[in-house]
Chain A
Amino acid sequence: MIGIIDYGLGNLRSVLGAIEKLGFQGTISSEPNDLSRADKLILPGVGAFGDGIKNLKSRGLIDPLNDLVTKQRKPILGICLGFQLLSEGSEEYGDHKGLGWIPGQVKRIEPGPEQLRVPHVGWNDFQQTRDSILFDDVPDPALFYFVHSYYLDTDANTTVGTCTYAVPMTAAVQRGNVFGTQFHPEKSQQHGLTVLKNFLERA
């Protein structure tokens, strides 16, 4: 059973649909009991950082998730906003503290001299920088769907792959049992489904 964490903001149905397509069972819940019974957790994401953290707090999820992820070492995959929430904090609409399971801060994408448009929306190349089970059987580079105005500024030991939009940025991380992708695997056709399958089967 895969626990999809419901904090009122994610595109939960899409994530559940992808998991079921891969032959796994999932449950969408904000109940710590349900989540503690799950083999693995997914923190999906469509939304703003401040609201994400506020909603996790108001549902009483921060302490139970800390226990499940840092003590019980349950595998967790953060997607897009869920991926950014794994970090130490963000500057989106004010300063906010994150879950702090991976190092780094979430910062706004700068358009740079090329005057690129923000948000970064669409299919972009993902390049692997370190081995991770998430990208087994995925070509390198491969196209994934991104949609974000902020990016996670983290270190090379946490990053497993990057995309380039004005500048190279971290697009996937792994640190022990904590996994995350800035892109949406559930919205990235066959390669996205492979990433999810890898997490479900091999994490």
Chain B
Amino acid sequence: MMLRKRVITVLTLNDGTLFRTKLFTPDYRYTLNFVDAWSVDEIVMFDVTRGDTPDRQKFFDAVSNFAQSCFVPIAVGGGIRSLDDVKRYMDAGGDKVVINTGALERPELISEIAETYGAQCVVLSIDAKRDGDRFDVMSHSGSQTTGRDAVSWAIEGEKLGAGEILITSIERDGALQGYDLELCAAVADAVSLPVQVLGGCGNWKHMVSAFEIPGVSAACTQNIYHFTEQSISSAKKFLASKGHPVRV
């Protein structure tokens, strides 16, 4: 009887089309089957449509499509700056929102969302890049350095009312060489929130290593299923065989 570790699929969409994150090469295998609907524990959908005022309608349509077919939680994000944005993303079918640059620009956004929708609705996403023995927070899809320290920002995010932290290693993203375990551990140790980790998962052993860190409650992947025939259920069978409680 215990809370299961989560295996989360991250989908990045540009103008409603699924993109592989590395090099942003389009991948047209955008189907619901792709996310192994009965095995996935949760789905994260990011909109990376560019422009000053990007038209997100196709993204919202894609979220609605998933929400009507996959009966698991869907976290949505990409460009959220205000409570009005949150409402639009939630109306499309999101159950919680993921904020990143919006919170860096205006940290009180975290509190505003928490007070309106509850803390559990706010996932603070932190893109981090190594700088010596510390981790720099990056903004704008990992393109700009902020001078903030990732661990301090996670602590501040918790104080402001975030319900979960999603920590991404920018350098590992797409590399399939494993999560940055030092980064995951530093953040998971610093906060008392559930922590999701992203960036670098290339095989199921990488998930096991992440789950061995206390406080890591979810392993997120985005590229791995593009490169392998393996399904989420096979990942879960492997995790279970290594003693990690998962929903199989």
Which residues of B have CB within 8 Å of A148? 118, 120
The answer, among B1, B74, B215, for a CB contact under 8 Å with A125, is: B1
Q: From A20, A21, A48, A121, name the one whose CB has the most chain B CB atoms within 10 angstroms.
A: A121
Q: A11-B93, A17-B67 are in contact. Are A187 and B117 (CB under 8 A)?
A: no
User: Total contacts A to B, CB within 8 angstroms?
Assistant: 125
User: Quick check: A122 and B194 within 8 Å, CB to CB?
Assistant: yes
Q: Mark B35-64, 1 if CB is under 8 A from A, else 0.
A: 000100100000000000000000000001
Shortest CB-to-CB span from B91 to chain A, Å, is 7
Contact of B38 among A141, A187, A190 (CB under 8 A): A190
Could you list which residues of chain B lie within 8 angstroms of chain A, going by C-beta atoms? 1-6, 38, 41, 64, 67-69, 71-74, 90-96, 114-121, 163-164, 192-195, 215, 217-218, 247
User: Whole-angstrom distance between the alpha carbons of A187 and B72 in the complex?
Assistant: 4
Contact A122 B68, beta carbon cutoff 8 Å: no
Complex Cα gap A94–B218 (Å)? 31
Q: B220 → chain A, closest Cβ, in Å?
A: 13
Question: A68 on the interface (CB 8 Å rule)?
Answer: no
Q: Which of A14, A51, A121 contacts B67 (CB 8 A)?
A: A14
**Residue pair A121, B95 in contact (C-beta under 8 Å):** no
Contacts of A127 in B (CB 8 A): 1
Q: Which of B67, B73, B193 has the most chain A CB atoms inside 10 A of its CB?
A: B73
Specify the chain B residue showing the minimal Cβ separation from A10: B90
Assuming the contacts A46-B90, A187-B72, asked whether A119 and B41 have C-beta atoms less than 8 A apart, the reply is no
B247 and A147 contact, CB distance less than 8 A: no
Given contacts A46-B96, A192-B71, A123 and B194 within 8 Å (CB-CB):
no
CB-defined contacts of B71 to chain A, threshold 8 Å: 14, 17-18, 21, 186-189, 192-193
Q: Are B194 and A121 in contact (CB under 8 A)?
A: yes
8 Å CB contact of A119 from B5, B120, B215, B218: B120
- In the assembled complex, 11 residue pairs joining A and B whose CB atoms fall closer than 8 Å, in A order, are A47-B118, A51-B117, A117-B215, A119-B193, A120-B3, A122-B5, A124-B2, A143-B247, A145-B73, A165-B3, A188-B72
